[in-house]
Structure 1
Amino acid sequence: MTQADDIPVLIVGAGPVGLGLALDLSWRGIPCTILEQRDGSISTPKLGAVGVRTMEFCRRWGIAQRVRETPFNPDYRLDMVFCTSMTGHFLARHEYPSLRDDAPPDESPEKKWRCPQLWFDPLLTRCATEYPSLDLRYWHRLEGFEQDADGVWADVMDLKTEQRTKLRARYLVACDGAGSNVRRALGIDMAGTRALDHSAALFFRSPALTRSHDKGEAERYLFFGAEGFWGNISAMDGRELWRMTVVSNEAQVEQVCRDAEAWVRRGIGRDDVPFEVISALPWRRSQLTATRYGDRRVLIAGDAAHTMSPTGGFGMNTGMGDVVDLGWKLEAMLRGWGGDSLLDSYEVERQPVGVRNVNASAHNYFALKSVEDASELLEDSARGQAQRAQVGAAIAEATHTEWETLGIHLGYRYEDSPICVPDGTSAPPDHPRYYTPTTRPGHRAPHAWLDDGRSTLDLFGRGFVLVRLGAEPPDAAPLVEAARRRGVPLMVVDIVSPRVAELYERRLVLVRPDGHCAWRGDAAPADADAVIDVVRGAATRTDASR
């Protein structure tokens, strides 16, 4: 067995979350190594949508335009259609524009994008490996690990050569999925509901499908029968690639995969449309959040920390929030300005968000399953027509929070964070559909367009930013000097615009490297040293409030 030199951050898993962490660390100049036990190829794409906040992260990393250039048809409409099949009875429709015709919301410089995992993972891989400081190792499996006060020893197997290697890392982050071996080795439990159902993901190709039905273009066709909601077909490229979900149970889901062609035909509603099943994968829909997000120098993120129903598309996007929260904290620890409690704040901040998003996803799933009586839905009769009208109206009203989710993506906040200084103000509502911009500590710093064409979000990412607002802003020197004494990177930005000053609510706003507000006030704090110590994880919030 050979031994390797010290690695700053060892990442286990090269899915989108592991690659996102590698990209964030590499962008920050922190070398890292990823272990992936497979070859990185995608046989059945799981994710389809890159949320607006994740697109803001991509903007920070300089890759948002590359996401927008992936192959999904930009002119394909993204409606949601409820029906008995693609050629059966119509129930209801939510109308949404194509990617080209959609506009970013007022609250962000970016908009969500349709970029299935088929393209998102390879894009993240290309972007991350453009940094020479990243070492990506396919066909390498983590066999075990031990940690001490200074780092982690990782036992790694090269699955091609069967050679074992001992790697030394300062930190280990497990992005190794729902069945995380690292989480299990740490003895971390998952809380919640293990199985909401067992479903099958059927990935198929059919260039003829878009012209073989009368429901019009849609991102998703959701199917209802006498049993209620039973599945959907989603557009993967807006041209010929499709993913079907069939809701089943543990006893029958394997048979559903074996009968994939029959289920696709049921969804289409006719037998003469040609298609090719590419893959069929059983999976378990769950509602689970880890009771802890790590132990000392070993941390978990993404599906290793939370598993949720895909209803809403929150899973990968929640994981990206995890690693963006974690990336700057690992940088701070490795560069020596992070306090002893900084990494402890990762769990305090992200676990409540995980619980929130897991529960919101389950709520959306239960909304789809909320049809109480569909016994006559397929009948060609007046009673059947009346039931279709009733079910269509009810299900359309119940599912708005699955498609319209700005509040979920932008409105999460770190309410009890030990590294944010509270100011005693009340939090705005945390609504899944609606987002209220605020600089209240713990919240995402708001977007506004600046006179030079940049977004305020473009100011944030590398170190702390102290935003001074108004024509005669308060003195920044106390906070600047306190940060300098502790080696904390801090930049001062002056914004005169009355419009932005009103949006930012205070004359001084201290924004963290992840873009969340850490402190705010209309004058410099009485004890600037205490504020800086709190936001770098070296003091308690009480110290900054004295």
Structure 2
Amino acid sequence: MIKTSVLVVGAGPVGLALAMELSYRGIDSIIVDQGDGTVRYSKMGLVSIRSMEFCRRWGIAERVRQCGFPDDYPLNQVFCTSLNGHLISKLDYPGVRDEPTSGLSPEKKQRCPQLWFDPILAKAVSEQNTVSMRYHCLLESFVQDGEGVSATVRDLASDETFTIRAAYMVACDGAGSGVRKSLGIQLEGDHALSYSVGIYLRAPGLAAYHRMGPAERYMLVGEEGTWGHLTVVDARDIWRLTVIGSQDKVESEHFDADAWVRRCFGRDDIPFHVDAVLPWRRSRLVANAYSKGRVFLAGDACHVMAPNGGYGMNTGLGDAVDIGWKLQAVLNGWAAPALLDSYELERRPVAWRNVDAAASNFSLLTPKLSFAGIETSGAAGDETRRNLSYDLSERTRQEWEPHGINLGYRYEGSPIVMPDGTPEPADDPSRYIPTARPGHRAPHVELSDGRSTIDLFGPGFVLLSFGSAELAEPIMAAARTAGLPLNLHCLAEPAAAAAYERALVLVRPDGHVAWRADAAPADPLAMLGQVTASGPPRDRAPM
């Protein structure tokens, strides 16, 4: 029998991220995956600004930035009838190198296709002495008791089985999660918003064969509406064409991928090779529970969303960070096991928020206007294209400008967040207004030494004091009594003080604000017990 603290099932980006987060926190884990770690087709391509902050924490942000995607490649969004057809509209976005600094984060989003991102994570995980990676290993069954989980795993290379005994297990095994099904947990929502097929292709030197210019995505529009989109993968030869339609259309045995590629190109003489044709369903689904006993779900195992906006993998990384610090706290004994109950209470509302936003993005791609004649030349076609230009581009900006989605999520109503009486701000998918209100991501402020406030948050809790150390001492003393890891940072930084708005701000290990006030609470030990689920239930009025 092999023993570990956490068994991670699935070595996709979320499973690898969880192993990195646990290792960062000094928690050992084993990852099992029936595959060999090879990413054959890139289903994701965008690492969000918040996910880049996580990569920064794990020490791999520079590796992601240097992944190989040209940093000067424009990330434009083009709406056209084909690459050699009519231009309808265009939203200009610079490459990552030239993207203006937002001031919202020390990081920028990064275009990094999964065929590069997963290996970057896998290499980083392989460098951790607290993680054992086991490819070609299939989870066959598991049982759990009050002390842990016993998993039976088959080594597909030797056909031998072995047992892993873990204190906890986290399933990151995708939308078809076998673990979720074994637990009897159901997905709720819309199983089929639409039917699509992904055509993964190579077209060397494609840019020389069309006049639409470089872009991250080409939205393809015909008389039936938006029928597909061509997405850049490596900015050179590899592309993904998504065709949208009915189930009969995209899952037909007569589906002609080459014909759809030629329609996309608008020419028959452009060389290309189709590597794979993979039908899939665009869904809006969230699990009705995120755990059962000592087994937890993360990533697509507990939420399945339309790819519009690129929220799926990035939401999964948020899951990994949330469950990661809570597992650390419980395993190291400075929080009660009840802390783990807050994982679902915090992350499930975020999942619903994000699946709804992705579904909304998809719906906006086909406005309820006439597409008649849109592919024809002449005055009538020009008028149709003019009429659709605004709705296709301006109304879809929330998909291309998702600062609100990526940075503005909050844990409203969480039992381990202490409200301060301030009203909840609007949750706008595109617009993010930094706030240190409890439950929200602690805002980025560049400090005088060049660091970001984000860099102050780490394996334990952090108390920011914008006054003296004496002001913070009652809370620090309570932390020592409780055995809670708590670092104090006294900041004489006017910009940070303005952003955080209170003299004392308690930040959780995941970088979210747990509590703030201008003075220590009357019972600091009770406050720390509340934010770690280690004390008796208390009234959640501001302390």
TM, length-normalised to structure 2: 0.98
Query: 1:257 and 1:94 mapped to 2: Cα distance?
Result: 35
Deviations 1:96-153 (A, max 9, x none): 0012111331110000000000100000000111002111111111111111111011
Tell me the secondary structure at the aligned position of residue 33 of structure 1: strand
Query: 1:47 and 1:136 mapped to 2: Cα distance?
Result: 23
Indicate conservation of the 8 Å contact 2:418/2:540, yes or no. Answer: no
Equivalent residue, structure 2, for 1:460: 457
- Larger mean Cα displacement after TM superposition, 190-199 or 155-164: 155-164
Which among 476, 479, 482 is matched to residue 480 of structure 1?
476
Tell me the secondary structure at the aligned position of residue 267 of structure 1: helix
Query: Number of paired residues?
Result: 542
Tell me the secondary structure at the aligned position of residue 478 of structure 2: helix
Indicate conservation of the 8 Å contact 2:457/2:509, yes or no. Answer: yes
Which among 180, 205, 220 is matched to residue 217 of structure 2?
220
Tell me the secondary structure at the aligned position of residue 320 of structure 2: helix
- Larger mean Cα displacement after TM superposition, 507-516 or 535-544: 535-544
Which among 279, 284, 301 is matched to residue 287 of structure 1?
284
One-letter code of the match for 1:216? Answer: G
Which among 406, 409, 412 is matched to residue 409 of structure 2?
412
Query: 2:129 and 2:311 mapped to 1: Cα distance?
Result: 31
Taking a change above 3 Å as real, the CA distance of residues 204 and 358 of structure 1, as seen in their structure-2 partners, is: same
Which among 511, 517, 520 is matched to residue 513 of structure 2?
517
One-letter code of the match for 2:509? Answer: P
Deviations 1:140-178 (A, max 9, x none): 111111111110111111112221112111000000000
Which among 83, 86, 94 is matched to residue 80 of structure 2?
83
Tell me the secondary structure at the aligned position of residue 342 of structure 1: helix
Which among 516, 521, 527 is matched to residue 531 of structure 1?
527
Which among 182, 197, 222 is matched to residue 200 of structure 1?
197
Query: 1:447 and 1:61 mapped to 2: Cα distance?
Result: 17
Tell me the secondary structure at the aligned position of residue 245 of structure 1: strand
Deviations 1:251-275 (A, max 9, x none): 3323489522211111111011111
Query: 1:241 and 1:99 mapped to 2: Cα distance?
Result: 19
Taking a change above 3 Å as real, the CA distance of residues 543 and 223 of structure 1, as seen in their structure-2 partners, is: closer
Indicate conservation of the 8 Å contact 1:104/1:111, yes or no. Answer: yes
Equivalent residue, structure 2, for 1:504: 500
Tell me the secondary structure at the aligned position of residue 542 of structure 1: coil
Q: 2:232 matched to 1:235? A: yes
Indicate conservation of the 8 Å contact 1:44/1:280, yes or no. Answer: no
Query: 1:370 and 1:146 mapped to 2: Cα distance?
Result: 50
Which among 150, 155, 158 is matched to residue 153 of structure 1?
150
One-letter code of the match for 2:474? Answer: P
Indicate conservation of the 8 Å contact 1:200/1:256, yes or no. Answer: no
Q: How does 1:287-436 map to 2 (within 5 A)?
A: 287-436=284-433
Deviations 1:367-418 (A, max 9, x none): 0022432121112231111001111221112201100000000000000111
Which among 434, 444, 447 is matched to residue 447 of structure 1?
444
Query: 2:107 and 2:126 mapped to 1: Cα distance?
Result: 24
Tell me the secondary structure at the aligned position of residue 364 of structure 2: helix
Indicate conservation of the 8 Å contact 2:419/2:540, yes or no. Answer: no
Query: 2:368 and 2:378 mapped to 1: Cα distance?
Result: 19
Instruction: Give the drift of 1:296.
Output: 2.0
Tell me the secondary structure at the aligned position of residue 197 of structure 1: strand
One-letter code of the match for 1:531? Answer: M
Query: 1:99 and 1:299 mapped to 2: Cα distance?
Result: 35
Query: 1:35 and 1:282 mapped to 2: Cα distance?
Result: 27
Stretches of structure 1 lacking an aligned partner (at least 5 in a row): none
Instruction: Give the drift of 1:250.
Output: 2.4
Query: 1:485 and 1:461 mapped to 2: Cα distance?
Result: 21
Equivalent residue, structure 2, for 1:493: 489
Indicate conservation of the 8 Å contact 1:257/1:281, yes or no. Answer: no
Tell me the secondary structure at the aligned position of residue 539 of structure 2: helix
Taking a change above 3 Å as real, the CA distance of residues 92 and 163 of structure 1, as seen in their structure-2 partners, is: same
TM, length-normalised to structure 1: 0.97
Which among 272, 275, 278 is matched to residue 275 of structure 2?
278
Equivalent residue, structure 2, for 1:177: 174
Taking a change above 3 Å as real, the CA distance of residues 533 and 327 of structure 1, as seen in their structure-2 partners, is: same
Tell me the secondary structure at the aligned position of residue 185 of structure 1: helix
Query: 1:541 and 1:117 mapped to 2: Cα distance?
Result: 45
Indicate conservation of the 8 Å contact 1:531/1:544, yes or no. Answer: no
One-letter code of the match for 2:243? Answer: V
Stretches of structure 2 lacking an aligned partner (at least 5 in a row): none
Indicate conservation of the 8 Å contact 2:14/2:313, yes or no. Answer: yes
- Larger mean Cα displacement after TM superposition, 353-362 or 98-107: 98-107
Instruction: Give the drift of 1:543.
Output: 7.2
Equivalent residue, structure 2, for 1:142: 139
One-letter code of the match for 1:342? Answer: L
Instruction: Give the drift of 1:486.
Output: 1.6
